[in-house]
Amino acid sequence: MTLATAAAQAPAGVRFRPAHVAWALLALAVLLTLLRPALPDGIVRPPEWLVWPISEGLNRFFDWLQNDVGFSVVTRGFAAAVGWLLDLASALLVPTRRGYPLPDVVCQNIGLCTGHAIPWTIFAITGFCVGTWLRSWKLGLLCGLTFVYLAVFGQWQWAMQTLSQVAVAVPLSVALGFVLGALAWRKQWFEQVLTPLLNLAQSVPHLSYLIPVVVFFGVGDHAGVIATVVFATPPMVRMTILGLRKVPPEVIESGQMCGATRWQVMRHARVPTARAEILVGVNQVIMQCLAMVVIASFIGSPGLGDKLLNYLQSLRIGSSIEIGVSIVLIAVMLDQLSRAWAEKQPVHWERGTPWHVRHRMLLVWSGLVIAALLATLAHDYAHEIPRRKAISTKDFWDAGVDHLLAWLSAPAAKVRDFLLLQVLTPIRDAFQYPPFLAVLAAVAAVGWAVGGARSALTVVLLIAFLAVSGWWDRSMITAYMVTVAVVLAVAIGLPVGVWASLPRPSRGSPGWWFNQAVRMLGILIVSAVGAAAVVFVLETVVPPTPAVEYSLFLAALAAIAYGIERYTRDVTRDRFLLFLCDTVQTFPSFIYLIPVIMLFQVNDVAAIAGVIIYGTVPMLRYTVEGMRGVPASLVEAAEMSGATRMQKLRTVSLPLALPTIMIGLNQTVMFSLMMVIIAAFIGTQDLGQEIMRAKALSDVGMSLVLGFCVAAMGLAVDHVATRWAAKRKKALGL
């Protein structure tokens, strides 16, 4: 600050201000771009000699690790251990798995060699009881009904395959993350080593994890689990460090004064006091595991993801939707359960409370389980509902979607062609036009403007990696897709977020009526679809007469509409939006490709549209959070100065919310990068496509280098955004 002002006062031409350097760099970039036709080839595109054979090097390194060092013994042992755990889990969960992976002696004597998967009824009961115990009967009902849905709609086997992988991956990730986190908390140097690795791990796309894992561990569910563990551990590490660090020193001192040894302090004072943070970490691990297990279908993990992939590839929308619903239900259930667990506070029982009162839930559970076991004896359906007997709504959705498409496809095709030819292709060419040195100069300019020489160097090095890796052109295509998606996501997310956090219109005003009208319309549409689905299900079970069917539809419509109306009456716009964001984020990201592929077929428009759906979420969320965080006193002060609504927004709320919004933008870029890569599987031409190819060739080096390319772009944006936000925040004294 002082330096800058001093420099400004110095005679002109003696010293630069940072801004001058940035402008100069930008001018250089523009100049290079304009001069492109006259430039030698080595400036326009990264010259051959600049491209290092990084992927070959990596491949040789991994080869050496595997064969010469004998790393394969370790990996094989590890794979076998994970495989055994998986066998055990799926023997318990998956109906078609036969027998437990136990030594023959045990197996023959106890008779565990034949299939004894746990019946679905017991899962439903357990889900209900655990949910009720952890929070409320509503959560219990959600959990119970989730399992009922999975069983009744014929998703049981796939869901259980997925869940058995989650069940193995979560404890492994939690244990690994906790140990690493505790070590990092204890030893400063270890944290310094770990932090950049965590940053990198969290910005490399899911898919890039898969290939090295395949090379080391082969394909199949055990490889999926290992990839999942690697992917899901970082948040656990972070939350563990955070939690352990947050424990008040007095609590530790009190433990020490009680004469506790180091280990006792850790076990009895520090870890239990950090319980909430650690459990938030567990929650994140669970969600990451579920997302990754679904994606691990790419490397041959069976389960919901695998089926979804199949159905999507053959565009069987109805079945895809049913699986999507399963994934979402499981995600919501696991999320809510682990959150409820994190939030659950111990409640005391008065002395002398009898055992059966203390453990009422346990008794209820035992009773229901016995009943369920008896039911399995009476009828096989209580044990397992075979898929061909299951209900399915896929025809309903297929018909509905066909209907919708018949309506929409013509205009959608027009929009698509227009966008592709008139908008996207020119933009894409524009991205590929500037010489790579110009791009580097522009990037350096941004870095310099934000954080001086150091930031400039950081971002330039990151982006230069794209040139050095030999994937410059592909990277620019990724950059183009992400840029378009991010610009659109901001164009949607920012105004909507701001609108949502404006003060609520007063009852009876035009704004209020408008809101109510929109809400009612939304409720009507949702309940109509819901009621139609209900009627459809009934039709497949017991075909009713038309009159009955009609009244049933109306009854269902009224019931659903009433329910939603009651539930959303007091929900403000911002809360509704945050709820929507939460929901969108619980879906595995590639679900968003379903609707866009249906509308636009397979091309850049579809990919970008899918990315936008996912990328808008953080923009919305952080805009709302940022606007909420503006101190009310400042807004009131502006009001008292006679500012109009727009003036208040422009002069007070937005500038103050901007640093937070910037973090949202940063995340939007990250999300978009990840999603663009995933979108590759519907056929784009960027890095993601190459990652898919690397996967097909199982070329570890290539896939890692491609992953690093994505990470480099992400980290560069991240660096600029966080620097800028930190600077602004400091300047605003927030």
Partner 1 sequence: MAAPIRVKEGALTEDPVIRCKHLWKIYGPAPEELLRAHGGAPSPEAVRESGHVAAVRDVSIEIGKGELLVVMGLSGSGKSTLVRCLSRLVEATAGEIEVEGEDLRALDEKGLIRMRRQKMGMVFQNFALLPHRTVLENVAFPLEMRGQGRHERRDRAMEVIKLVGLEGREEHFPRELSGGQQQRVGIARSLAIEPDIWFLDEPFSALDPLIRREMQDEFLRLREILKKTIVFITHDFDEALRLADRIAIMYDGAVEQVDTPDRIVMEPATEYVGRFTHEISKARVVHARALAEPLDGRIVDGKAVPGDATIASLGRQLIGTDAEYLPVADSAGVVDGVINRMRALELLFAEDPS
CA distance 319 to 233: 32
Q: How far is the CB of 356 from partner 1 (least distance, A)?
A: 18
Site for partner 1 (CB under 8 A): which residue of 11, 259, 510, 543?
259
Q: Which is nearer to partner 1, 343 or 429 (CB)?
A: 343
Asked if 257 interacts with partner 1 (CB under 8 A), we say yes
Q: Which is nearer to partner 1, 261 or 425 (CB)?
A: 261
Q: How far is the CB of 251 from partner 1 (least distance, A)?
A: 5
Q: Which residues contact 87 (CB under 8 A, 6 or more apart)?
A: 97, 100, 101
For tokens 């007091």, the residue is 570
CB under 8 A: which stretch of 259-267, 432-440, 590-598, 683-691 binds partner 1?
259-267
Asked if 698 interacts with partner 1 (CB under 8 A), we say no
Evaluate whether 474 touches 428 at the Cβ level (below 8 Å).
Answer: no
The residue count for binding partner 1 (CB under 8 A) is 26
Q: How far is the CB of 298 from partner 1 (least distance, A)?
A: 42
Q: Which is nearer to partner 1, 112 or 276 (CB)?
A: 276
Q: How far is the CB of 130 from partner 1 (least distance, A)?
A: 20
Q: How far is the CB of 272 from partner 1 (least distance, A)?
A: 4
Q: Which is nearer to partner 1, 49 or 349 (CB)?
A: 349
For tokens 């600049």, the residue is 50
DSSP labels, 528-564: HHHHHHHHHHHHHHS---HHHHHHHHHHHHHHHHHHH
Q: Would you give the binding string for partner 1 spanning residues 261-290, x where CB under 8 A is met?
A: xx-x---xx--xx-x---------------
Q: Which is nearer to partner 1, 251 or 457 (CB)?
A: 251
Site for partner 1 (CB under 8 A): which residue of 103, 348, 378, 632?
348
Asked if 65 interacts with partner 1 (CB under 8 A), we say no
Amino acid at 688: G
Q: Which is nearer to partner 1, 65 or 260 (CB)?
A: 260
Asked if 351 interacts with partner 1 (CB under 8 A), we say yes
Evaluate whether 301 touches 220 at the Cβ level (below 8 Å).
Answer: yes
Q: How far is the CB of 351 from partner 1 (least distance, A)?
A: 6
Q: Which is nearer to partner 1, 344 or 414 (CB)?
A: 344
The residue among 708, 626, 693 whose CA lies nearest residue 666 is 626
The secondary structure element, H or E, covering residue 609 is helix 604-628
Assigned token pair, 279:
């459990």
Q: Cα angle at 691 between 596 and 303, to 5 degrees?
A: 65
Q: How many CB atoms lie within 10 A of CB 285?
A: 30
Assigned token pair, 733:
């004294």
| 301 secondary structure, DSSP code | -
Asked if 188 interacts with partner 1 (CB under 8 A), we say no
Asked if 260 interacts with partner 1 (CB under 8 A), we say yes
Q: Would you give the binding string for partner 1 spanning residues 217-256, x where CB under 8 A is met?
A: -------------------------------x-xx-xxxx
- Give CA 125 to chain center in angstroms: 29
Q: Which is nearer to partner 1, 258 or 517 (CB)?
A: 258
Q: How far is the CB of 195 from partner 1 (least distance, A)?
A: 24
Evaluate whether 207 touches 684 at the Cβ level (below 8 Å).
Answer: no
Q: Which is nearer to partner 1, 253 or 582 (CB)?
A: 253
The residue among 327, 338, 317 whose CA lies nearest residue 586 is 327
Q: How far is the CB of 275 from partner 1 (least distance, A)?
A: 7
- Sort residue 154 into left (φ over 0), alpha (ψ -120 to 50) or beta: left
- Give CA 732 to chain center in angstroms: 31
Residues near partner 1, by CB under 8 A: 248, 250-251, 253-262, 264, 268-269, 272-273, 275, 345-351
